[in-house]
Structure 1
Amino acid sequence: MIPLGAGSGGGQIMSVFESDLDIGQTVAIKPTTVLIIDDHATFAELLAGALNREEDLLSVGFACSVAAGIALWRDLLPDVVVMDFHLPDGTGITAAERILAEQPQTRIIMLTGDPTPEALERAAGIGICAFLPKDGSLAIMLDTLRHARRGSMVVHPTLLAQLVERRRARINDVPVPYLTPREMEVLCRMAEGSDVKASSVALGISQNTCRGHVKTILAKLGAHSQLEAVVTARKLGLLSAYQAL
């Protein structure tokens, strides 16, 4: 026990018990367990490896379908499920509904590159914690795994921007193509007047990779030059929505 002071009889008042641990000894913190449900095995393995390099996170397994994922979840009962929206035998929303019906405290993070307002509304309604782009950064994924909680839903700004533009497109009856976060970064560099070499240096990618992104952007926007692509993107509101994030 730890002495707090002297009593009236000269003795010591003892009211706080010492821990059985030695001073300086640390208490092991139980890591947050994570189950990955994704039909792309390479992605799942890479994500699992990244999680297992973190002291407070632990990948406990992965499955490649709704049926296999639910079965594995029942066996493992992880703290968090990271799940692709598109799966071979159904959607991640369907799997999430079944999981949350059995264990409402399970935290679920949904991955997608093609969000719809209907999917987000349904996800919020059943208690999914977060919607993230599948090609988003690992840092954001790790932060979301640590902090996302039931009762609120985190939606990545890139996905919100896509939803805003699609809603505008429906109003104006103009189709708006989906550009990945990296393609949007390259497009913004194009809008600033950067050439491929300057853009590749700024974004930390090779010139060949940057040229590939430019080619894809032109194809998606139906443009024949970078200038035409930038003009089209401005008309569709892609640049203004992205730069406002």
Structure 2
Amino acid sequence: MQPIRVLIVDDHALFAEALSARLQREHDLVILPVAADVRRALALAATERPRVLVLDMTLGAESGLDVLDRVRTSHPDVRVVVLTATDDLDTLVQAVRRGAVGWLSKTESADLVARVIRSAARQGGWVPPDVLGEVLRRLLSGAPEPDGGARLLAALTPREREVLQCMVDGLGRAEIAERLGLSANTVRTHTQNLLAKLDLHSALEAITLAMRAGMRPRG
């Protein structure tokens, strides 16, 4: 696979530079110049074509959620991973609703940040396991009528529905491949296809939609 182009957007210079230097040691990541403000971030997103944007939730007077909206509007193919010092669950849920595919605390290791970047680039995502249940509950609390989700799921092939059910069951790509007797690459292709059909950006959004439509974990 081609190297993953990564743009870090953070106005804490020492932190951002240290993270950039650490991630540059990953052979499959290309770390672009750090953006310390929104204007610079949007300019670099346009000229450098990052695959993943690592975004702080506060950029001076700017709200990270507003920045997220602008990035998603201008560059819908960019995958946004939030890396922040805040642990506010309401902000986390709003970020996911607005298209973020990952959420990390700045206290996490650079190794985990790199893994989440790779997952985001491959149509995956990540939310801390200890808050995932509550995040899903809050996402589901504003759910539309089940029929709406069911109509969307009707566009999926039987195999794509099987993959989605495995995602709802909490399985990772390797586990889905083992359960269904497929290769990991085939599972990735099915995942990408079902996300495209549902006009979603992450596995978490797909799981939320599936549960809104009545799909539940098995076992």
Can you list the C-alpha shifts for 1:50-69, whole angstroms capped at 9, x where unaligned?
A: 22111100101111122222
Higher strand share: 1
| 2:53 counterpart of 1:81 | yes
CA distance in 2, matches of 1:38, 1:105: 20
Secondary structure of the 2:6 match is strand
Please identify the structure whose Cα radius of gyration is greater: 1
Can you list the C-alpha shifts for 1:14-50, whole angstroms capped at 9, x where unaligned?
A: xxxxxxxxxxxxxxx5210001111111111111112
CA distance in 1, matches of 2:90, 2:105: 16
For 2:62, the aligned partner's letter is G
Identity %: 33
| 2:138 counterpart of 1:142 | no
CA distance in 2, matches of 1:33, 1:123: 22
In the TM superposition, residue 149 of structure 1 has moved relative to its aligned partner by: 5.5
| 2:33 counterpart of 1:61 | yes
Inter-CA distance 144–88: structure 2 relative to 1 (3 Å threshold): same
Gaps of 5+ in 1: 1-28, 165-245
In the TM superposition, residue 157 of structure 1 has moved relative to its aligned partner by: 3.7
Partner of 1:229: none
Partner of 2:192: none
Of structures 1 and 2, the one scoring higher in RCO (CA 8 A, sep 6+) is 2
For 1:65, the aligned partner's letter is D
> Considering only aligned residues, what root-mean-square deviation do their CA atoms show, in Å?
2.4
Partner of 1:113: 85
In the TM superposition, residue 83 of structure 1 has moved relative to its aligned partner by: 1.0
CA distance in 2, matches of 1:84, 1:107: 14
Q: How many pairs align? A: 135
Out of 103, 125, 137, the position equivalent to 1:131 is 103
CA distance in 2, matches of 1:80, 1:152: 12
Partner of 2:42: 70
For 1:108, the aligned partner's letter is V
CA distance in 2, matches of 1:53, 1:149: 18
Inter-CA distance 151–59: structure 2 relative to 1 (3 Å threshold): closer
In the TM superposition, residue 116 of structure 1 has moved relative to its aligned partner by: 2.2
Contact 1:129 1:150 in 2 (8 A): no
In the TM superposition, residue 113 of structure 1 has moved relative to its aligned partner by: 2.3
Partner of 1:99: 71
Contact 2:119 2:125 in 1 (8 A): no
Can you list the C-alpha shifts for 1:176-204, whole angstroms capped at 9, x where unaligned?
A: xxxxxxxxxxxxxxxxxxxxxxxxxxxxx
Can you list the C-alpha shifts for 1:80-136, whole angstroms capped at 9, x where unaligned?
A: 101111110312221111111122221111012223232122211121110100111
Higher helix share: 2
Gaps of 5+ in 2: 136-219
Partner of 2:179: none
Moved over 4 A (4+): 149-153
CA distance in 1, matches of 2:31, 2:121: 18
CA distance in 2, matches of 1:88, 1:39: 7
Partner of 1:181: none
For 1:156, the aligned partner's letter is P
In the TM superposition, 1:1-245 aligns within 5 A as 29-148=1-120, 153-157=125-129, 160=131
For 2:77, the aligned partner's letter is Q
CA distance in 2, matches of 1:151, 1:51: 20
For 2:108, the aligned partner's letter is G
